Structure 1
Amino acid sequence: MKKTMLAMALLVSANGWADEGMWQPHQLPELEAVLKSKGLEIDAASITQLTTFPMNAVISLGGCTASFISNQGLAVTNHHCAYGSIQHNSTAQNNLLQTGFLAKTLNEELPASPGSKIFVTEQVSNVTKQINQELTPQLLGKERFDKIDQLRKELIAECEATAGYRCGVYSFHGGLEYYLIKQLEIKDVRLVHAPAGGVGKFGGDIDNWMWPRHTGDYSFYRAYVGKDGKPAEFNAENVPFTPPSFLKVSAKGVQENDFVMVIGYPGRTNRYNTAFELKNMFTQNLPLSKAYREQTIELIKQIAPAGSEARIKYESILAGLANYAKNYEGMLASYQKGTTQQRKDSSEQMMQSWIKADAGRQARFAPALKNLQQLSEQSIEFQQRDLILNYFGYAQTFSTARKLYRLAHESTKPNEDRETGYQERDQERFAAGLKRMSRSFDPQVDLEIAMHFLKHYSQLPAKQRVAAFDTFFGLTGADVDEKALKEKLQAMYQQTKLGDEVERLAWVGKSVDDFKASEDPMIQFAVAMFDTDLAEENAGKELMGKFAVARPKAMEAVIAFNKTQNKPVYADANGTLRVTFGTVQGYQPRDAVSYSPFTTVKGIVEKATGIDPFDAPPVQLAAIQKADFAGYTHPVLNTVPVNFLSNVDTTGGNSGSPTLNGKAELVGLLFDGVIEGIIGDVDYDPALNRSIHVDSRYMLWQMEKADGAANLLKEMEIVR
C-alpha cells in the first residue's frame, strides 16, 4: 500500500515541477519522459541498474562522492574531499597542501589517510517488510529502538557474510521505508594527484559558497586490491583495481541551457521537518552552532600559527569547521530575509485543514502529528548543553578516552549484542581513527579547546548540568575558578599518554578492570563519566524509539497531502546513492544583479594577489598569459571555463560527484552551492537553487599546461 502511494505521488507530480528532487535510482523509470525531454541521450533504464554503466562508475568515499575515470582504478573527486589525505602526507618541510602533489608512476603514489575507503554500491534491497513485520504496536520507546537495531544488525551480518563487502540498512521518510545497501569495500586507497592549494582552494573561505567562483576543486585517488582482485589491506604488492566501468572525460564540456545530471551520495537534508523543528533550528540551534564553530576556529588559529606543524595538523579540521560556519551563516541570512518559515507554517496549516476535512484522515494522521510535536518539544530540552558538550568533543583526548573505555565494555558482550560502532566489523575503522589522530592532534590546541567549552558549560543553569561532569572537574557553580581549572587541565595533559599513538592503540583489547585501575587522568575521566554517558544514551534511544512510531505515520500524511498539491515526492538525503538532473543556467540573486553560468581563467588573473587564498601558482598564471587554450575552449567565450552553475538539486556529500552530460560523459565535478540557495537543505527554491561545478575543460587544461600530468591524461579516455 505504501509503495503504491509513493509511486502514485511520483507519477502525479512528475509533470509540474522544477528540477527538484534527489531521486533513488529505482524511482527513475517513472521519470523517463522527463529525462528524455530535458536531454538524456542514454537509455534511461541504465541509470536504474546499479551494476551497469554509468551507475557502477560512481563511488562513495564515505562522506564525499567520486567516480572511476580509467580501467586502472583511477578515481576523481574534489580537492576538499581528498584534503585529509593531502594533509596526512604533509609536513612543515614538505607541505603538499601548498605545493600540490603528482605521482608520475604507480610506485610514487602515497597512502591515503588511515581509514580511507572506496565503496562501490552493488545492490539495494527493500527490506521494509522484514523490519515492519517484527514491530508490534506493543513495542515502544527504547524497546522499539532496540528491536529495529537488532533487525538491522541481523540483515547487515547476513549481507556481510561475503568477504569484502560493507552493508548498511537505511531508513527513508523517517522510517516509512527501509533499504539494505551492499557495497564493495576497497581498503587500499592512494593519493595520485592534487593541484597546488592556490588552485584547489583558490578563494578559500572568502569565496566559499560564493559566485563567481574560480576554484580547481579536484584531486585523484587510485583504488588498489590484492593480486586476486579482491579488496585487501594496504600492501606494496597490491595492484590497481579494475572497475566494472569508468567514465569518459569530456574536453568539449557544456554550454548554457545544456542538460546535466549528477550521480552521488548526498549527506542529509531536512525538507520534511515540521514548522516547529524548522523554527527551533534557525532561532536556537544554528546560531549557537555557528558561534561555537567560529570560536573553535579562532582558538586553533591563535594557538597554531600558519605554517607551523600544529597548524598543518589542524588544517583539515579547520576546513570542515569553516565550511559549515559559513554554511550556517548563509542559512541564517536566507531564513531571516526570506519567507521559509511563513511558507512552512502555511503549508502545515493547509495540511492540518486537509486532515480535519475527512474523518478517516483525522483518525489516521492526527494522533501521530500531535505525538510528533510533543516529541520534538521534548527533544530540545537540553539542546544548548548537548551542543557545548559536542564541541567539547573536539578536545580529542577526552573523546578518545571515552571511546576506548566504551570499547572495553562492549567487548565483554557477544558480537551481535554490541553497540553499532564497536562490533568486530568496526574494529578496523576504530583503529584507523586512533591512528589518524597522530596527524590531527596537538596537546596545547586540545587543552585550549577543552578549557574554552568548560567555561561555556559552567555558565549553564543548574538543571542543564551533568553531576558526574561537575564532580570530575570540580565545577560547583557559574563562578568557575579559571586558574584552578586550567591547572587541572595542564596536569591532565602532562600526565596522559593518550597523545602517543602506540599508547592509544595499546588500550584496544584491555579489560574494564584495566581501565578502572589506570592512573591516566583521561582514562579516569572516561571511567567517571561512563554510567552517565550510558544513561544519556539510553534516554536518547527511548526518545528515538518513540519518534520511530510517530515520524513514519506523519510522513504518510505529508506524502498523501503533497500528492494533492502536485508536489514532488522523494526521500530526504541520507547518504545513499541518488540521481538529480537539471540544466546549466545562471541566476539573479537580487535586484539588478544577474549572474552568468560560467567563469573563466580571466577571473583567476583578476583575483590573483599572490597571497593566500588568492595565491594562484606562477606556473598557472604564466600558462594563462600564454593563452594556449586549444582543445579546451568554450565555443562562445573563446577561453577556458573554470566553474559553471546548474540548477541540479544537491547538498553536502554530493561533493566530488560526477556531473554528466546526456551521453553520461564527465563534464564536471560538483563541489559547492551558492550562498543565496544554501537554505535548500530545508527549503528548495527554483530561482536560487544553484550548484557549482569544476568544468572538465579547466581540469584537463590545468593538468596538461600547468601541472605536467601527462601520465594521467594518457590514462583517461578523453572525448574531444
Structure 2
Amino acid sequence: MTAFPTHAKEGMWLPPNLKNQERDMKAAGLQIAIDKIYNENGTGLNNAIVLFGKGCTGEVISPKGLILTNHHCGYGSAQALSSPEKDYFANGFWAKSMAEELPCKGLTVTFIRRIENVTQRILDGVADTLRDAVRDSIVNARVAAAEKEMAKTTGMDVLIKPYFKGNEFWAAISETFRDIRFVGFPPNGIGAFGGDVENWMWPRHTGDFSIFRVYAGPDNKPADHSANNRPYEAPQYFTINANGYKEGDMTMVYGFPGTTNQYISSFALKHVYNIMDPISIEARTRKLDIWTKYMNNDRDIFLKYTAKRATVANGWKKWQGEVVGLKLNNATGKKQAYEATFRKWAEADNTLPWADVLLPRMQIAAEGADKVVAEEQYIKEAVLGIELVQQAGIAEKLVAVMRSKLSADTVKDSLGKLVAAQEAFYKNYDANTDKDVFKTLMALYFEKNSASLPEYYTTAYRAHGQDMGKWADDIYTSSVMVSQDRLKAWAAQPDSAKLQNDAAYRLYDAISRMRKQRIQPALTVYNTDMRFYERLYMKARMAHDKKREFYPDANLTLRLTYGHVKGLDPDGPAKYAYQTTLGEVVALDDTASDVFKVPAKLKELYERKDYGRWGVNGVMPVAFVASNHTSGGNSGSPVLNARGELIGTNFDRAYEGTMSDYYFDPNRCRNISVDIRYTLFVIEKFGDAGWLIDEMKIIKNKPAPKK
C-alpha cells in the first residue's frame, strides 16, 4: 500500500500568519510558496476568494468575474427569481450568454485585499482585567477611529474585528461589489440531491454548486447595478485542475468560516449539549414535519417555503450530529480534564494572579444561568418559531410612527412604506401552514414552561377553553398580520388601538415584555460575566500552553485550513470510500421521492456514459471527503490541491464530526466537497452551458494510451 498522511489537521489559520505554519504545510505536501496563498501586493489567491452574501464563500474561476459557490448558498437568490412559471428549483437555470444573466437584488460579494494586525493600536495601555463595560468604550472608540483613518488611506472598506476572545484585533481591508448576476443553477435533483436525508452525512451524492458573475463599473470598481456595468476583470482567479486526486493528497480550504467556540469551557459546553441543542432539535422537528406535509401537497407552498425549510433543517440536522459527536468523544469530560491541569498551573503561577479564580467563577455563572438559558431557547425556537408571532413585531414600528409628531401626510407615507416593505415576507408565507405550526409549537412551549408563562398566554388559552385549535383559529381569522392585504387595509385607515389589541401582536408583545423584564437582564449579566472570564481564560491558556499553536475561533473572516483527502474512519480502517460517483447517484433514484429523484437527462447521460472530458475510465466522480477543519461559512469555499489549483467546492461536514465547532476529533471530522469534474460535467453536458467553461483555465491531461 502507498503510505499517506493519516492525521487530520486542526486549525483555521489567519492568512498573514501562514509563515508560522510553513514547515508543517510543506511536510503535509504543499508545493507552492506561502506568499502565493496570501500577500498584500495583489497577486495572492486571497484576491480570488469572496465572502458571498452574508455568510457563504465563493471563488473566482475566470478572468471575467465568474463566481463558483454552493447551490444552497444561491438558494435565496434562486427563490427571489423563481415563480411557478419559472421554477428554477425544478428545472434549473443556465444563461446562454451574458445578456441572459439575471441581476440578484441585494446580493453582494466581498474581496479581502489585505489583513493587518492592529492589536497594539487598539489595546495599548488597556489593562487585561479592566471590566468590559469600561474596556469596550475605549476599544470601540479606537476601532472606529482606526477604521475611518484606514478607509481614508486605502480608499477601501475597513472592518476591524476581535480575535482570541478580544485579546487581539485585526483589520480586513476589502472591496464589496453590489452588482451580482445569476448565471448557472442546477435543479434540485442535482444541487439538493438527498435533501435532509443526506444532509450532514457521508457518503454524499450532491452537486451542491451554483454560478454567479460579478459586474463592475467602468473603472472595474464596485458599482450599483446598471446596464452599463461590465463583467469584473479579475486580477486573480483559480486554475482548475481536472486531473483528480487520490487518497492522501494534500488539500486546502480557503474561505470564511462563520462561528466556532473551540476554547469553550466545560460549563458553557453543557449549555450547548444539555440545553440549547436538544430544545432546538425538538422544536424544529415539529415545525419541519408540518412544513414538509404542506410543501408535499402544494407546489406553490413548496416554492414559498423551500429556502426557509433548507435553512431551518440545516441547523436541525447539524445539531443532532453535534450532540452525537460530543457524546461519542466525551468532549465535556476531556475539557474537564484539561481544566484540572489548568487549575494546578494557575494556582502555582505568579505571573497572572487572577488566573486561579477564573474557572470557579465561570462554573458559578454558567450553572446559575441554566434555567434562563432554557427559557430563552424555548422562546426563540417555539414561540418565535411561529412566523406570525415573529412578524407581529412590525406592529411596534407602525405604532411608533403613529405616535410620532410627524405631519399626517408623512405618517401615512411612512406607514405605507413599512407595509410595502413586508412584501418579501408575505410572498413566502402561508397562513394555513403557519396555523398548524402555531398549534404544535405553542403546545410545546406550554408543556415545557408551565411555571413561567406570560400572564396573557395563560389568560387567552383559558378563554379559548384550553383548546389550541380554537385559539389558533381565532388568531389567524382576526389578526391583521396574517396577510399583506389585511395590513394594507389597516394602513389605509390606521388605528393604533386596533393594532395594539391585535391577537398576534399581543402574543408578540407579551413574550417581548417578559424577555425584556426578566430573561434578557439575567442573560445580559451572565453573558457579560462570561465574556470577561473567557477573555482572561484565553489569555491565560496561551500563557499556560506556550508550545501550542493557537488559532482564533472563526468569526466570518478569511482563513485557511489544510488536511488530506481521506475516507471516514472513526473506528479504525476506512468505513467509507473517499469518493462517490454518478453510478451511486443513479442507483439511489426514486421517482416517488422529491429528494432522491434523478433528472431524466442526467440518467440519460449516465446510461450513455457521456461524460465528455470529465469522466475517469467510464466513471463520473461526484463528491469527495477530506480532513480539513471547516465550519458554517465555509460553504462554497474552494478546495485546493498542493499547488493551489481548484479541485472541488466545499459544502458540508460529516455527521460524526459536526461537533468540530467545539471539539475537533481527527478520526471523525471531515469536510465534504463537490468534485470539480462533476461541476464541469453538469455545466457542459447537462446545462448545455459550455460557453462558461471556455472562460476557465483548466488543466486536464490526456489519458495515457492503452497498451
Instruction: State the one-letter code of the partner of 1:562.
Output: D
Structure 1: how far apart are the matches of 2:483 and 2:651? 36
Instruction: Find the partner of 1:668 among 635, 648, 659.
Output: 648
Other-structure match for 1:706: 686
Other-structure match for 1:262: 253
TM-score by length of 1: 0.84
CA 1:411–1:153 in 2, change beyond 3 Å: closer, same or farther? farther
Structure 2: how far apart are the matches of 1:712 and 1:186? 21
Other-structure match for 2:12: 22
Matched, 1:580 2:571: no
Instruction: Find the partner of 1:606 among 587, 595, 598.
Output: 587
Other-structure match for 2:23: 33
1:245-644 correspondence to structure 2 within 5 Å: 245-361=236-352, 363-391=353-381, 392-402=383-393, 405=396, 434=422, 436-461=424-449, 464-466=452-454, 470=457, 474=460, 480-493=466-479, 495-496=480-481, 499=484, 518=499, 521=502, 534-535=516-517, 537=520, 540-563=523-546, 566-590=547-571, 594-610=575-591, 611-629=593-611, 631-634=613-616, 639-644=619-624
Other-structure match for 1:7: none
CA contact (8 A) 1:587 1:596 kept: yes
Instruction: State the one-letter code of the partner of 2:576.
Output: Y
CA 1:447–1:182 in 2, change beyond 3 Å: closer, same or farther? farther
Aligned residues: 676
Cα offset for 1:110? 2.2
CA 1:501–1:211 in 2, change beyond 3 Å: closer, same or farther? farther
1:124-203 correspondence to structure 2 within 5 Å: 124-133=115-124, 140=131, 167-203=158-194
CA contact (8 A) 1:397 1:498 kept: no
Other-structure match for 1:687: 667
CA 1:341–1:533 in 2, change beyond 3 Å: closer, same or farther? closer
Structure 2: how far apart are the matches of 1:146 and 1:657? 36
Cα offset for 1:578? 0.5
Instruction: Find the partner of 1:78 among 70, 79, 85.
Output: 70
Structure 1: how far apart are the matches of 2:350 and 2:464? 53
- Judge which range, 669-678 or 138-147, deviates more: 138-147
Secondary structure of 1:355's aligned partner: helix
Instruction: State the one-letter code of the partner of 1:90.
Output: S
Cα offset for 1:323? 2.0
Structure 2: how far apart are the matches of 1:501 and 1:39? 63
Structure 1 unmatched runs, 5+: 1-14, 414-429, 508-512
CA 1:280–1:28 in 2, change beyond 3 Å: closer, same or farther? same
Structure 2: how far apart are the matches of 1:214 and 1:537? 43
Other-structure match for 1:646: 626
CA 1:247–1:628 in 2, change beyond 3 Å: closer, same or farther? same
- What is the aligned-residue identity percentage? 28
CA 1:559–1:716 in 2, change beyond 3 Å: closer, same or farther? same
Give a deviation string over 1:128-176, Cα, whole Å, max 9, x none. 3454458678964656566655655555566667999655432222222
Instruction: State the one-letter code of the partner of 1:486.
Output: A
Structure 1: how far apart are the matches of 2:211 and 2:490? 30
Other-structure match for 2:209: 218
Cα offset for 1:83? 1.3
Q: What is the alpha-carbon root mean square deviation over aligned residues?
A: 3.7
Other-structure match for 1:658: 638
Other-structure match for 1:417: none
TM-score by length of 2: 0.86
CA contact (8 A) 1:188 1:224 kept: yes
Cα offset for 1:696? 0.9
Structure 1: how far apart are the matches of 2:48 and 2:667? 31
Structure 1: how far apart are the matches of 2:420 and 2:550? 39
CA contact (8 A) 1:267 1:653 kept: yes
Give a deviation string over 1:426-455, Cα, whole Å, max 9, x none. xxxx99985542443222233333443333
CA 1:29–1:163 in 2, change beyond 3 Å: closer, same or farther? closer
Give a deviation string over 1:280-319, Cα, whole Å, max 9, x none. 3212221111111111101212334344212211111111
Cα offset for 1:523? 5.7
Instruction: State the one-letter code of the partner of 1:106.
Output: M
Give a deviation string over 1:76-115, Cα, whole Å, max 9, x none. 0011111122222223343211211101122222233x43
Structure 2: how far apart are the matches of 1:264 and 1:506? 45
CA 1:146–1:394 in 2, change beyond 3 Å: closer, same or farther? farther
Structure 2: how far apart are the matches of 1:431 and 1:44? 53
Structure 2: how far apart are the matches of 1:267 and 1:44? 24
Structure 1: how far apart are the matches of 2:486 and 2:98? 29
Cα offset for 1:127? 3.8
Other-structure match for 1:111: 103
Give a deviation string over 1:479-535, Cα, whole Å, max 9, x none. 944255224422443x2376369959999xxxxx99678568356666666665555
Structure 2: how far apart are the matches of 1:96 and 1:185? 27
CA 1:504–1:460 in 2, change beyond 3 Å: closer, same or farther? farther
Structure 2: how far apart are the matches of 1:478 and 1:284? 31
